Structure 1
């Protein structure tokens, strides 16, 4: 059964506030790297999936740059356990079940509204920050097939460095995917090129 996204009048703004507060408390700084111009189109955000922080980081990105209504896909059993995320824009997906098609179509339905953004982890599971290459599951291509309007596809690579500080710094690398080839392989290859360039960029940075 698909659990559709909701935005509770109290829980949603509290989650926005908490995400900013938590990040500002834990991280030395947050830096957005790459060009992205505001768009009237809806946005499909495709970030790497490295751990607990990921959703907070994308919320930060949305509040600081994207300014869209926040939605994200979450495993059904996890959403049932952490039910409050349902009231912050989370909707469910059950891998290996027939309802996954319903979820993919629902994701496309959200993206047909230009005021919305959805972030989906293309890897489909948490992976090490050091894992390369990054592999995409097939669901992204199917979402785009169901989407009826032109949307913006935004690659995101969240990378952490400490340098000389006791607190980590977060670098959110951005790249808009504009290729007309929306196959899983084409997007996967493009993402890995972008990700490798982001990692190289980090190695060239002066310590801060």
Structure 2
């Protein structure tokens, strides 16, 4: 597997590029919800709806989490876009024995309070309107191996244009405080929060 690196130039450039791209392409980026920081590592679980997802979570990290950014990518995509490895990207290769190494590595990252790890538990890009969310089993193994104090942050990203030329990004967040080791429970909690976020969004926009 390919492990994450934080290049002295590429990683800061990625953070700077995030600010520039979001300012240029979005009307506003709004964060709705609270992150109650206990000082421990953060596992971010987000919906995967577009090419923008990584930049959106970097924005959230810069604004609220303030951790060293890590994210899981398919190995073939990380090989193709090699620069992401130097911005915190690490690889997973599905249907391969190396996936166990990726799980151990993710848990190792979460053992440091300075780190955050972004996971897209669906494993692929889905429509933002698709509420039929199914977590892959690897998520449970990561939870089993990571420290019990690791904070789990749910994120639901939604966008709307309305009368604006550029879309507005709405980021709904929720911190879990329970010690979770079951992927089924986590999946149900995320689906519940996803529906709550959409209903709240429709009621307030």
Q: TM-score, normalised by structure 2?
A: 0.97
Alignment match, 2:189: 190
Alignment match, 2:20: 21
Q: Deviations over 1:34-82 (max 9, x none)?
A: 1112331000000000010000000000001100000010100100000
Distance across 2 between alignment mates of 1:135 and 1:149: 23
Alignment match, 1:52: 51
Distance across 2 between alignment mates of 1:148 and 1:59: 23
Moved more, 94-103 or 37-46: 37-46
Counterparts in 2 of 1:93 and 1:55: CA distance versus 1, 3 Å: same
Whether 2:199 is the aligned partner of 1:200: answer yes
Alignment match, 1:85: 84
Moved more, 124-133 or 54-63: 124-133
In structure 2, runs of 5+ residues without a counterpart are: none
Q: Deviations over 1:101-137 (max 9, x none)?
A: 0000000000000000000101011111111121111
Alignment match, 1:62: 61
Runs of 4+ in 1 over 2 A off after TM superposition: 178-182
Q: TM-score, normalised by structure 1?
A: 0.96
The answer (yes or no) to whether the contact 1:38–1:65 under 8 Å persists in 2 is no
Alignment match, 2:172: 173
The answer (yes or no) to whether the contact 2:29–2:168 under 8 Å persists in 1 is yes
In structure 1, runs of 5+ residues without a counterpart are: none
Moved more, 29-38 or 13-22: 29-38
